[in-house]
Amino acid sequence: MLQTLSNEGDFKSGSSPQQYQSGYRYLIIGLLMYLIVGVVNTWTNFATPIAEDLGWTAATTSTNYTIVSLCMGFGAILGGYLAKRKPVRFVMLLAAVMYGAGYVGSSLTQSDTPFVLYLCYGVFTAAGCGMTMNAMNNCVVQWFPNNVGTVSGVMMLGSGLSSLFLGTATSYLVAAVGWRQAFQIAGVASFCVLVLCSFLMRLPRVGEVPPKKGPGRKLVGGDREYSPLQMLRRPSFYMFFVWTGLMFGVTVAQTGCARQVADSIQTPTFLATLGIGFIMLFNGVGAIIAGRIYDRLGRKIIMVCQNIGWLVGIFIAFLGIRYASPLLLVGGWIVMGLTGGGVGATNAAFVAEFYGMENFAMNLSIVNMRSLLASLFSSASGALFMTYGSYIPVYYMMMAMAAGALVLGLCIRKP
């Protein structure tokens, strides 16, 4: 992948190879940091043990994931705001403190104090995750201005690998030492790694990277840079915001109840844990594929492919639930993960193409507030299950969301 980048766009400017080799180092560090903070998305591995230990209902634990979805967006906004005013290292260190402290604080939760979990894990850990991802994305893509989608996808692979490897490891850690000690270990370890990585990151200096060329197509409006307020005046922003909100909403609805869905059809524990890891692993793989397609073939093609992929994956998983087939369920999850993971890379590439790089961090963080819309679907999925006692209506809802996003995506036009 790195060699591909070096042959297409970013490394044809006539600058010395040594200048651009440094970009690889930051991309690898970004991948590592995404690997660490991606653990927050494996909440479902904590939810069941916590609910069993504290006597909570599924609605109580799903509320936490709703808060996580919201606060990741607010954390990204805060990270984007600080990125224009503070050094990138400051933002990353602050995020490391919030992320690690949130895990450790979550271990103090008692059966009658769910607000402790909501505050520590839902707010601090999630906000720290959002800040880290925004700061890393903004920093690393500056080294690869002509491959924003691809590079964003490479970093998001770290989040997918996190769920497969660290998420699976966390599941076994919870079984071995209990969820409280698992939270404490995760908090301390992640804090140490994030702090170390923060001291190794920096933005490129003038002349270290080539100018943005918009390979394969012209930039919207020439080379115009949009401020956040200018972006908010564009109809294209609101249409895309709803599109990505619906797409992320499907992801939230899926991952928020994934373990419970697997348990409802008596999926073996190992296969359920592996399946959840596969969702996030293929999220990462899909992010690279989507980013590459966007960079080379454009926005409309990848958005249509993502919507169709969602519909196919949801339908396969639906059949798995309907006929109590764990293999069909996991197969559907893989297709959904492969498709859904590309939405984040599409967001980054869309913001860079439509609104420029000067205010990329803040503009991307506003787009990523899609979590406000998406969080509603996590609560809706829990309400549907409580009403009907089945996850089949949840998958009906997800099909409707993906179909609506398909129609909306076809309506987006360049300003």
CB 145 within 8 A of CB 209: yes
CA–CA gap between residue 283 and residue 145 (Å, rounded): 23
CA–CA gap between residue 53 and residue 47 (Å, rounded): 10
What does the H/E/C string look like for the chain?
A: CHHHHHHCCCCCCCCCHHHHHHHHHHHHHHHHHHHHHHHHHHHHHHHHHHHHHHCCCHHHHHHHHHHHHHHHHHHHHHHHHHHCCCCHHHHHHHHHHHHHHHHHHHCCCCCCCHHHHHHHHHHHHHHHHHHHHHHHHHHHHCCCCCCHHHHHHHHHHHHHHHHHHHHHHHHHHHHHHCHHHHHHHHHHHHHHHHHHHHCCCCCCCCCCCCCCCCCCCCCCCCCCCCCHHHHHCCHHHHHHHHHHHHHHHHHHHHHHCHHHHHHHCCCCHHHHHHHHHHHHHHHHHHHHHHHHHHHHHCHHHHHHHHHHHHHHHHHHHHHHHHCCCHHHHHHHHHHHHHHHCHHHHHHHHHHHHHHCCCCHHHHHHHHCCHHHHHHHHHHHHHHHHHHHCCCHHHHHHHHHHHHHHHHHHHHCCCC
pLDDT-derived band at 63, boundaries 50, 70, 90: confident
CA–CA gap between residue 382 and residue 256 (Å, rounded): 9
Does 17 fall in a domain? Answer: no
- Count other C-beta atoms under 10 Å from residue 222's C-beta: 8
- Count other C-beta atoms under 10 Å from residue 192's C-beta: 13
Does 231 fall in a domain? Answer: yes
Does 397 fall in a domain? Answer: yes
The pLDDT assigned to 353 comes to: 86
Write out the residue range of the structural domain in which residue 394 sits: 22-204+226-411
What is the tally of structural domains in the chain? 1
Question: Among 371, 262, 280, 278, which residue's Cα sits nearest to residue 320?
Answer: 262
The pLDDT assigned to 212 comes to: 63
User: Of 85-99, 155-169, 401-415, which one has max mean pLDDT?
Assistant: 85-99
More confident residue, 336 or 378: 336
The pLDDT assigned to 69 comes to: 77
pLDDT at 163 over 50: yes
The pLDDT assigned to 100 comes to: 94
More confident residue, 65 or 242: 242
Torsion of CA 350, 9, 142, 140, to 10 degrees: 90
The pLDDT assigned to 213 comes to: 59
Does 278 fall in a domain? Answer: yes
The pLDDT assigned to 183 comes to: 93
Write the pLDDT tens digit of every residue in 4-35: 454 344 434 343 444 444 678 888 998 899 88
Does 232 fall in a domain? Answer: yes
Write the pLDDT tens digit of every residue in 264-292: 888 887 788 778 777 777 877 888 888 88
Does 213 fall in a domain? Answer: no
Does 289 fall in a domain? Answer: yes
Does 99 fall in a domain? Answer: yes
Q: What is the CATH number of the domain that holds 50?
A: 1.20.1250.20
* For residues 111-138, average pLDDT: 91
* For residues 96-123, average pLDDT: 93
Record the tokens describing residue 263, joined without a space. 């348990």
pLDDT-derived band at 142, boundaries 50, 70, 90: confident
